[in-house]
A and B are shown apart, each in its own frame.
Chain A
Amino acid sequence: MLQKEIQREYYNKFVELVVEIAKWLGMYNSLPAIWWFIIASIVAALFFFFIIAVFALIAIYVERKVSGHVQDRLGPMETGWHGILQTLADTIKLFLKEDIIPAAVDRKLFILAPVIVFMTSLAVFVVFPFSEKFVVTELNIGILYVVAISTVVVPGIIMAGWSSNNKWSLFGAMRSAAQIVSYEIPVGLSIVCAVMAAGDLSMQGIVVKQAGGFWNWFIFSNPFTFVAFFIYFLASLAEVNRMPFDIPEAESELVAGYMTEYSGIRWAFFFLAEYGNMLAVSIIAVTLFLGGWQAPFPALEFIPGWLWFLCKTLFLVFVQIWMRWTLPRLRVDQLMYICWKVLTPFAFVCIFGGGLWQVLIK
């Protein structure tokens, strides 16, 4: 009941907001209704682009700082107070760089690849519930949409690797594709665990089911979803090619993997997509297992939901960074071993056990 209300109330809230603004400005009748939908979509896309860009600026700085302190160094210190403007300076440098398209590449695919990779990392953001009020599109199959869209990154990466006409790029792309396709399975299965616990596929619906304190979050609600959270977290690291699963762009063997031939702004888009994915998998983990924008205690509900959401997401991002600077890179066979022989069977056990728990105990 509650969930239905929420769906009705916040369905395409963002489009409604844009329409309301247009009506307030007295411009609504000047264009057909479909145009307002398109304008709302463009505004949403720009908004999420902005979010990813700002997040990348901060995350790169944090990553460099954390990596420095883990290794007893200081990290960037010169640009601004404690190097706080370092990523901004790097970004300006990237924009000013020459955009090189090597002579031997397949031009069309080479140009298209970063667009596809970035587009997929941008497209998943529309269904994320940032707070009880703010969700751009309340899809009733939200999580399915996320899983489906995030897989589209594979063609983009293969395009980048193949069109670069470079052995490192091709190896990187092949490894990346193999890795992402393999790790989709434990990711999908662990998501099924959470979906079974919620009985809902919509992201907002899943969050609403976890209301009322941290003991209701799916990570703590039963032991099987607890394991599923860690399966999801590990497998999602592999999906976004983060350490310790970063063999597609292993610097020491493949230079930079599928982005070897890219430079300047196109490379920046790959990089942005990487950090966007990092944010996206953290958001998914928070939404499915850590209660999304819900406060950990009912007494703390006066703090706005987006703040809780932000804190949880950034904490997971921090754990990702922390893990990256702790663990060494896996070998290809170890990677596949972990996926197929450890994570997948455990995820199946989680689904089975989680189902039994739902039927017998709840």
Chain B
Amino acid sequence: MQRYFLNIYIGIKTILIGMFITLKHMFTKSVTVQYPHKKLDIPERCRNLLLNKIEDCIGCYQCARACPVYCITMETIKAFEGENLGLTSDGSKKRLWIPVFDIDMAKCCYCGLCTYPCPTKCLIMTDKYEYSTYKRDNLIFHFTNVDAVKAAELREKDHIRKMEKEK
């Protein structure tokens, strides 16, 4: 009998305690960040969207080899005689045309391994994280300084050069 009344007493008491706790929380400031209107600062060394500063890229394939999921597709064509492709920002000479430099962000696992071996530090991970699209193809990011017409021209020239070499 004593236990019965004690039980009821404890029940009522704990309900009141709980109700006051929730009442208190009704007037505390919410922790919600109203995301699309307000964004949290991204940490300095975060790993998000990959960016290749193509004007600095020397086409060395180091990144493509480092990638554990093979999300970087590259095609390079050796510069032809008499062509000067210029220098990168750190002064190394560019020797290759890069008609294709595709990064498939759908495959990317954000490990950042591709950015470490890059000799000219042109492949970096940016703080951009909003790039969802309706089509999966849109997740393939194309970086190239050669337009399609020029690329076809280069490929043809390269083919001819190879044929000549074989002869």
> A interface vs B, CB < 8 Å?
66, 68-74, 77, 322-323, 325-327, 341-342
**Cβ contact within 8 Å between B25 and A323:** no
- Name the distance in Å between A237's Cβ and chain B's nearest Cβ: 12
**Cβ contact within 8 Å between B26 and A73:** no
- Name the distance in Å between B82's Cβ and chain A's nearest Cβ: 61
B15: A residues at CB distance < 8 A: 326-327
Q: How far is the CA of A66 from the CA of B22 in the complex (A)?
A: 10
Q: How far is the CA of A341 from the CA of B28 in the complex (A)?
A: 38
- Let me know if B86 is at the binding interface, CB within 8 A: no
> B interface vs A, CB < 8 Å?
4, 8, 15, 18-19, 21-23, 25-32, 34
Q: How far is the CA of A69 from the CA of B23 in the complex (A)?
A: 9
User: Residue A77 contacts which of B18, B22, B26, B34 (CB distance < 8 angstroms)?
Assistant: B34
**Cβ contact within 8 Å between A70 and B22:** yes
User: Residue B28 contacts which of A72, A77, A322, A326 (CB distance < 8 angstroms)?
Assistant: A72
- For this complex, 25 residue pairs linking A to B, each with C-beta atoms less than 8 Å apart, are A66-B26, A68-B30, A69-B25, A69-B26, A70-B22, A70-B25, A70-B26, A72-B29, A72-B30, A72-B32, A73-B30, A73-B31, A73-B32, A74-B30, A74-B32, A77-B34, A322-B19, A322-B23, A322-B26, A323-B19, A325-B22, A326-B15, A326-B19, A326-B21, A342-B8
- Name the distance in Å between B9's Cβ and chain A's nearest Cβ: 12
A326: B residues at CB distance < 8 A: 15, 18-19, 21-22
List 9 tightest A-B contacts by C-beta distance, closest first: A326-B22, A74-B32, A69-B26, A70-B22, A326-B18, A74-B30, A72-B31, A73-B32, A326-B19
B26: A residues at CB distance < 8 A: 66, 69-70, 322
- Name the distance in Å between B142's Cβ and chain A's nearest Cβ: 35
Q: How far is the CA of A322 from the CA of B15 in the complex (A)?
A: 11
B34: A residues at CB distance < 8 A: 74, 77
Q: How far is the CA of A342 from the CA of B15 in the complex (A)?
A: 15
| B15 and chain A: residue at smallest CB distance | A327
A342: B residues at CB distance < 8 A: 8
B4: A residues at CB distance < 8 A: 341
Q: How far is the CA of A193 from the CA of B44 in the complex (A)?
A: 68
- Name the distance in Å between A228's Cβ and chain B's nearest Cβ: 15
A71: B residues at CB distance < 8 A: 25
